[in-house]
């Protein structure tokens, strides 16, 4: 189902390709997932910040921003390496998303926090979001030039709810595509 949704996004022109800098451990011979990198937080100088966030100051971090990064597997020093990835072109979807959001935001169906975060993302303008990673585990990307990559968990995991339902019933679309419920 994740691959099918990906193919539909690709066919409709909602994906783009760009270069992303990632940390690669030459000793381990692989790009490092965020949880396999630790270093000094660039905001508060906490020495044990992870590759995705700092547990001391709570800020989100891009792993390449860490000071003195270390591979948590071998304690080697990873290097910043450019790699090609696919991105969901969220700016292209912004107008349609804003129109769709009018009803649930006005109706108060969402929590105040969810409304606030959503409005702030739209106020600041949506940015393209990477949907692939250089990992060996996960759902493979079905596209030439990207077959050695997998879908990034933020893209793949929510779709997993659809997939698990499809494992239990061939009527899964009746459950998920029912706007009255």
Q: What is the CATH number of the domain that holds 49?
A: 2.20.28.20
Which candidate, 59, 139, 71, 126, places its Cα nearest to that of 98? 126
Please check the confidence at residue 179 and state whether its pLDDT lies above 80.
no
**What's the number of domains the chain is made of?**
3
Specify whether 11 is located in the same domain as 42.
no
Sort 86 into a burial class: Cβ within 10 Å, 0-12 / 13-18 / 19+.
buried
- 18 CB-side CA count, 13 A: 13
d(CA 40, CA 49) in angstroms, rounded, equals 6
Q: pLDDT digit string (tens) for 28-50?
A: 999 998 889 999 999 999 999 99
Q: pLDDT digit string (tens) for 60-83?
A: 888 999 999 999 999 999 999 999
Please check the confidence at residue 180 and state whether its pLDDT lies above 80.
no
Are 86 and 2 in contact, with CB atoms under 8 Å apart? no
Q: Is residue 166 part of a domain?
A: no
**pLDDT at position 175:** 83
d(CA 156, CA 146) in angstroms, rounded, equals 16
Q: Is residue 179 part of a domain?
A: no
Please check the confidence at residue 181 and state whether its pLDDT lies above 80.
no
Q: pLDDT digit string (tens) for 116-164?
A: 888 888 888 899 999 999 988 889 999 999 999 999 888 999 998 888 8
Containing domain of residue 153, as a range? 1-22+82-89+128-158
pTM of the complete model beyond 0.85? no
Which candidate, 122, 47, 53, places its Cα nearest to that of 90? 122
d(CA 80, CA 102) in angstroms, rounded, equals 41
What does the buried/exposed string (b/e) look like for 140-156 if buried means 16 or more CB atoms within 10 Å of the residue's CB?
A: ebebeebeebbbbbebb
């Amino acid at each position: 189902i994740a691959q099918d949704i990906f193919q539909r996004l690709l066919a409709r022109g909602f994906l783009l390709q760009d270069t992303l800098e990632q940390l690669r451990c030459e000793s381990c011979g692989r790009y490092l997932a965020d949880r396999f990198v630790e270093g000094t937080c660039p905001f508060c100088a906490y020495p044990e910040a992870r590759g995705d966030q700092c547990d001391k100051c709570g800020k989100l971090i891009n792993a390449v921003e860490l000071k003195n990064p270390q591979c948590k597997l071998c304690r080697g020093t990873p290097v910043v390496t450019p790699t090609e990835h696919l991105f969901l072109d969220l700016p292209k979807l912004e107008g349609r998303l804003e129109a769709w959001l009018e009803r649930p935001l006005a109706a108060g169906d969402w929590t105040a926090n969810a409304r606030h975060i959503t409005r702030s993302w739209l106020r600041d303008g949506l940015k393209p979001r990477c949907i692939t990673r250089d990992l060996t585990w996960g759902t493979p990307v079905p596209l030439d030039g990207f077959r050695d990559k997998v879908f990034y968990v933020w893209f793949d995991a929510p779709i997993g709810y659809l997939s698990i339902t499809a494992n239990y019933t061939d009527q899964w679309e009746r459950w998920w595509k029912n706007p009255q419920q």
